[in-house]
Structure 1
Amino acid sequence: MGVMEKMRNSTSSILWILIFSFGILWVLADVDFFGGVTQGPRSLGIVNGDEITLNEYNQRVSFYTEQFNQQSGNPMSPEIRALYENQAWEDLVAARLIRQKMDELGITVTDTELMEMVTGDNPDPFIRQQFADETGQIDRIALQTAIDSPENSEVWILIEQQLRENRRQQKLNNYISSGLRVTPMEIRNEYVRENSFADIEFVRFPYSEIQDEEISMTDSELQQYYRENSDLYQREETYRFRYVSWDKTPTAEDTLNTVREIEDLRSAFESAENDSLFVLRYQSSTPFRGAYVNVDNIREEFSPVVDLEIGEVSDVEMVNGNPHLFKKIDQQGDEIKFAVLSYDVIADPIATIDRLAEEASEFKFYAESESFEEEAERNDKPVREATATKDTPFIPGLGQSQVAVDALEDLSVNSISEPIELNDQFIVAQMLERTPAGTRPFDEVRTQVENALRNDKRQVQALAAVTEQLTANSDLESLASALDTEISEAEGVRYSSTTIPGAGREVEVIGAIFGMEEGGMSGAIQGSNAVFVIRVVNMDMADAQNMTAEQQNTLRNRLEQQKFMAFNQVFIDRLKEDASIQDNRDRILR
């Protein structure tokens, strides 16, 4: 049913709504109601009283967008744009939190320090990059001329501001690093871990040897395990919703238009003198290679280029549904140099995408005034259900979609979303149920609790079985026979490793090995996947006294970097926890 037909059917109700609405508008206008309402939030967000403006947010998003366009050359999908928009917000919040922390710590940059960064013996890398001569030395005359030129005054103000912030950031990094220094003991321990090796023999008794029927569990035990491990069964806020969709697959007309577009470039491609520049200028989805390729190595779909004359361009060839033009540039024996101009067929932004968006908007309008199911039936749209989890972009049935999750967060029960544009479709969703974050009910996770408790009991029984056999079999050979298994060997097990060859990831077992003496035999060791009994055939423990100065510096730098990277994220997260952050993006951007 078209829009105009629906409008005609709803004329009487719409007329009364308009009459009532205009009456309300006159009353509100008399009391200047809209002066306060239209003002809304004045900034995109506030971090501890420091505003984030819409302008700087847009600049940050544009920066990411330009980077993406330069690197990929493809249209940005809604999902990628949503990721960049969120990253821009996180960047601006983090920058303010760090700046506020620097203010709190009293980290400043004096005018003398600033001058030293510009005109000193060792200028800032930015200054060195801009004013270095061909020998790599600073051109002091050019630098001073740039400083003294009146037309550069505003530029220098911006440069000085950036240099101050960079130096403050460096001081903060130094402040943090000073508390994360690596001790000589840590360096010695790391050297020993990296350079110590052991050759071992072992008997392994996998937990899977204990069969399910050998394990019994009572309801009381399950309930107790659930209570003691409730942190394992937490959930984020979840949304159950239904939706209808409009596929964004390119139409036959979209394909025809793309073919015509590339066909129109055929003559220009044939006469182009610089094929690399031509392919780049017209944004071919196939980049220019410029190398000679043996005829036998040319991909089958590119084979039309073989039969061309030098300088000739092929007719339009469809490769994987996308139009291609091939140009033979040169040929030397059996090797050919060629260029490819190709376009990916995408849905037309106006003829297809805008039409689908309009259909989705129309659906939303009438679904709100009538019924979601009735409107779906009237439009012959199947209604699907799905469940999404806050902060988890994957939605079963829809795939990866942070855009959809963000939209669902704003919906109340029974409300209907605006059209949500995903990479391959538009959807309109209706919220059916919102489940708050918290511990999942026992009945909902009973199967998981049973599996977890069963695994715990399986490990306990396996450990008891091996321990019992060890009392009667004191050597590895007799133990292997009693357990009906074989003795395995592993050579060159590194102290810093996390895996044992042939036995998988076993961090705790490796730790136990290097606590043993050469020739010694362990008791039953509870590993991640099995119970082990180890015999150390050879132990080569490194001596930190043999560490060279170069090795010491390498280890120190690596350990300091690891500490700094680990602390940095915790540092930002902690600042966020303690901060007052007001996020107005939903009210301003949408």
Structure 2
Amino acid sequence: MGLMTFMRTKMGYFLVGGIAVVLALFVLEPLLQHSSSLFGSSRNTVGSIDGEEIKYEEFNPKVEQSVAQFKQQYGGSVNAQMQAMAVDNAWQSEIAGKLLTKEYTRLGLTVSSDELFDLLQGKNPSPLIVQYFGNQQTGQVDRSAVLSSLKAQQKDPKLKQQWDMLQAEIEKQTLQQKYTNLIRNSVYVTSLEANDEYNNRNKLASFKYVNLDYSSILDAAVKLTDADYQAYYDANKKRFDNPSETRGFEYVHFSIKPTAADSAAAKTQVEKLAADFKTTPNDSLFAANNSDVKVPYTYISKGKLDPAVDSVIFNYPAGSYYGPVLSGNSYKLVKVIDTRFSPDSVKASHILIDASKIGEAAAFKLADSLKSLAQGGSNFGELAKKYSIDGSKDKGGDLGTFARNTMVAEFENAAFNGKTGDIKVVKSQFGIHVIKIEKQIGSSKVAKLAYIEKSLAPSSKTRDAAYKKAISFLNDVKAATFSSLAQQKGYTVAVADKIAPTQGYAPGLDSPRPLIRDAYEAEKGDVLPQVYTMEDGFVVAHLTDVKPKGQLSLEDVKKQIQPMVMNAVKAKLLADKINKALAGSNAIDQVASKLGKAAIPVQNMVFANPIIPGLAQENAVIGTVFGSKVGKLSKPVTGEKGVYVFVVDGFANPAPIDNMFKQKETMLLGITQRSLGAAFQALQDKSDIKDNRVKFY
């Protein structure tokens, strides 16, 4: 029954689990953020893959499953960025599933009935069968449990549905593994490649260089021409391939931070709260009912609270009050209930008894009996294996070593307030525990506190005033006057650039999705149609840039490449200066003297780590060093920080490779992983993928 229950509750996450498998398998980075024109799309079509439409009603449940997984992982809270990641996970899984299924068919990859039988109940079980039906200690599959569950599905429609899902997932993972093996077996490393890689990581170069930094020429002294921009663009076209349509906008943020009046009102309210706090008969209940931040009513060690509180509260004796004090964006009020010295961590074992099955009185009676047996010399671990319902029972109830605030309060108090060797019986929300304190480690001061924190929030009047400013600006502003009107009114204009359609974040904005959706409905130059609500204010925005998917034009990137074009022009001027110094020189020190510089020595540089100490990563310079002859002055080399001239003093070759097989194996791992990603990227590049998610999320 436990197995069937587990399958029923967990199988709903198989689809999401499939996402993780595919992502790990193909190293999916932002490869799948393809987008296209949104016009003419069906109103309920999220996108399409090679003409096959993906309907919202089919896609959204997968998004919800992905969101549920995030909530489970992060404690039920999902922000805008995590929501966007959940949508991306579902979308990437959708693309991977459809493209790979077509590729399996093209390659003739299948899972035969005999193979599937072996994976489900044979000698070579699927990892999923091992996971659900395997013994945790031996790793062996309980075949009788598999057969029993398979037989039971004939009379249980829900169980049959779970088995159908499990079988489909096993087939999918098997096909993925076959495809992966095909890719892996198609790549290899030659001895020449292995030797080159070994030398690149172990051959050492020593040289001296002189560099002229780009900053030695003021930007104001350089006049850039259209020809300069065109030359740089033509030489670097591959850098300007835009994988996804992006948009840029400028915006004005109308803050709703608390005003001085809000602060004064909050202070008055908190002072009244502090007076009531001092006279309340129930400190913990009063704190729980009045604090915006819940701090457990248990012993807390230093370092857990706001630094302003933490730095002083552990010096206060029991019965002391602290506050109200404004720290950060909230007022703090604290009453010290008790202080003591306590272990830093505890090693313990326990036996958990389910009181819901036998009743609380019977559970306590059993616990007391087990405590007596343990105190009388019976093996606690064996008792745990026999009587505990907790997952730790297979380890004799061993919970390992844990710090404070790890366990529920009742359990923690018993473990930390007792002493080594004690056996205690306590009740918690999980049942009745028999706890054996194996060891207590360290000792430090802890405090039990009644803690109240009241956030300093803006009043409705402050919010209304900010909104009125925002709506007034929206009504008055035109595209051409956005920046000038903002400046006239004393507002700051912020910029968000290269925003992808499904992006869950934007600079300075905590909830940007509605704004981004409208940006993808707008034309370049439009003021977006509404005031957007953020957690800390309101926003009015203006669409300033639309960059289409594919090769960007010079006009699209002109502003972006201006610093690089400036350096390219400066590089020509600096190279001319170095060439003049090289004329008639036969030593690096002579060149340095003519340039008014000193030649700087570099020892033991390796090709695989091309960072010049104190400067920057200079791939072109170090690459040229390793291709040069010893003792020969180089020509000027354009780098990231400036223009260089150097002379190689010598090379130190490494000893021959001891183990060629190991060298090839190490390289093959990296090449294989890159090949998997490249193969999947090739499938995408050959496919017609249309992404309309921005309309829905």
What is the TM-score of this pair, normalised by structure 1? 0.68
Structure 1 residues 227, 429: closer, same or farther in 2, change over 3 A?
A: closer
2:681 matched residue in structure 1:
570
Instruction: Provide the secondary structure at the position in 2 that maps to 1:505.
Output: coil
Shift of 1:493: 0.7
Q: Distance in 2 between matches of 1:343 and 1:289?
A: 16
**1:159 offset after TM fit, Å?**
0.3
Q: Quote the Cα distance in structure 2 between the aligned partners of 1:416 and 1:177.
A: 50
Where 1:204 maps in the other structure, the secondary structure is: strand
Separation in structure 1 between the aligned mates of residue 220 and residue 254 of structure 2, nearest angstrom:
48
Separation of aligned partners in 2, 1:386 and 1:478: 51
Please name the residue that 2:113 is paired with: 111
User: Which residue, out of 120, 123, 133, partners 2:122?
Assistant: 120
Aligned-partner Cα distance in 1 for 2:329–2:96? 44
Deviation larger for 231-240 or 505-514 = 231-240
**Matches of 2:162 and 2:608 in 1, distance apart?**
52
Q: Which has the higher helix share?
A: 1
**Aligned partners of 1:45 and 1:584 also within 8 Å:** yes
What does residue 162 of structure 1 align with? 169
Identify the residue that residue 520 of structure 2 maps to in structure 1: 409
Is 1:143 the counterpart of 2:146? The answer is: yes
Distance 1:267 1:568 in 2: 70
After TM superposition, give the deviation of residue 559 of structure 1 in Å: 3.6
The equivalent of 1:479 in structure 2 is 591
Partner of 2:657: 545
- Deviation of the 1:128 alpha carbon: 1.2
User: Distance between the aligned counterparts of 1:240 and 1:573, measured in 2?
Assistant: 29
Query: Which residue does the alignment assign to 1:321?
Result: 329
Report Cα offsets for 1:461-491 as digits up to 9, x if no partner: 4334434433422123333333322221112
Q: Provide the rounded CA distance (Å) in 1 between the counterparts of 2:477 and 2:306.
A: 54
Moved more, 74-83 or 222-231: 222-231
Match of 1:486, SS state, is coil
Q: CA deviation at 1:194?
A: 1.1
- What is the alpha-carbon distance in structure 2 between the residues aligned to residue 520 and residue 230 of structure 1? 33
Offset at 1:318? 6.0
Using the TM superposition, give the Cα deviation of residue 196 of structure 1 relative to its aligned residue in structure 2, in angstroms.
Answer: 1.4
CA change 1:145–1:522 in 2 (3 A) is: farther
Q: CA deviation at 1:229?
A: 6.2
Q: Which amino acid aligns with 2:63?
A: V
- The CA distance in 2 between the partners of 1:170 and 1:74, in whole Å, is 33
Pick from 509, 523, 541 the counterpart of residue 621 of structure 2: 509
Q: Is the 8 A contact 2:329 2:456 kept in 1?
A: no
Deviations 1:523-571 (A, max 9, x none): 2240303443434334222245334544442333234334444x26633
Task: Verify: 1:521 aligned to 2:632, yes or no.
Answer: yes
- Which residue matches 2:690? 581
CA gap of 1:285–1:185, structure 2 versus 1, over 3 A, is: farther
Confirm or deny that 1:555 pairs with 2:667: yes
Contact 1:239 1:434 in 2 (8 A): yes
Unaligned runs of 5+ in 2: 1-41, 343-442, 479-484
Output the amino acid matched with 2:86: Y
Displacement, 1:500? 1.8
User: In 1, Cα distance between the equivalents of 2:339 and 2:229?
Assistant: 76
Q: Is the 8 A contact 2:194 2:664 kept in 1?
A: yes
Q: Mapping of 1:174-573 within 5 angstroms?
A: 174-209=181-216, 221-222=227-228, 225=231, 228=234, 231=237, 247=256, 270=284, 292-293=301-302, 299-302=307-310, 303-307=312-316, 309=318, 319-322=327-330, 331-332=340-341, 335-338=444-447, 345=455, 389=497, 391=499, 401=512, 403-411=514-522, 417=529, 420-427=532-539, 439=553, 441=555, 445=558, 455-516=567-628, 519-528=630-639, 529-547=641-659, 549-565=661-677, 567=678, 570-571=681-682, 573=684
Shift of 1:163: 0.7
User: Secondary structure of 2:205's match?
Assistant: strand
| Shift in Å, 1:95 | 3.1
Contact 1:79 1:423 survives alignment (8 Å): no
| Equivalent pair of 1:116/1:123 in contact (CA under 8 Å) | yes
Q: Which residue type is aligned with residue 688 of structure 2?
A: A
Give the structure 2 partner of residue 11 of structure 1. none
> What's the CA shift string for 1:24-44, capped at 9, x where partnerless?
xxxxxxxxxxxxxxxx74554
Residues 417 and 138 from structure 1, CA distance in 2 versus in 1: closer, same or farther, beyond 3 angstroms? Answer: same
Which residue matches 2:95? 93
Q: CA RMSD in A?
A: 5.4
Q: Tell me, in whole angstroms, the C-alpha distance in 1 between the residues paired with 2:188 and 2:511.
A: 41
Query: Contact between 2:517 and 2:694, CA under 8 Å: does it hold in 1?
Result: no
Cα distance in structure 1, aligned partners of 2:68 and 2:453: 20
* Residue number in structure 1 paired with 2:401: none
CA contact (8 A) 2:80 2:510 kept: no
Equivalents in 2 of 1:446, 1:174: separation in Å?
46
Query: How far off its partner does 1:160 sit?
Result: 0.1
The percent of aligned pairs where both chains have the same amino acid is 18
* Cα pair distance change 1:526/1:344, threshold 3 Å: farther
Q: 1:95 to 1:314 in 2, by over 3 A?
A: farther
C-alpha distance in 1, partners of 2:211/2:537? 52
d(CA) in 1 for partners of 2:522 and 2:306? 53
What is the CA-CA distance between 1:429 and the residue it aligns to? 5.4
Contact 1:78 1:422 (C-alpha < 8 Å) held by counterparts: no
Whether the 8 Å CA contact 1:285–1:344 is kept in 2: the answer is: no
Alpha-carbon contact 2:194-2:667 (below 8 Å) kept: yes
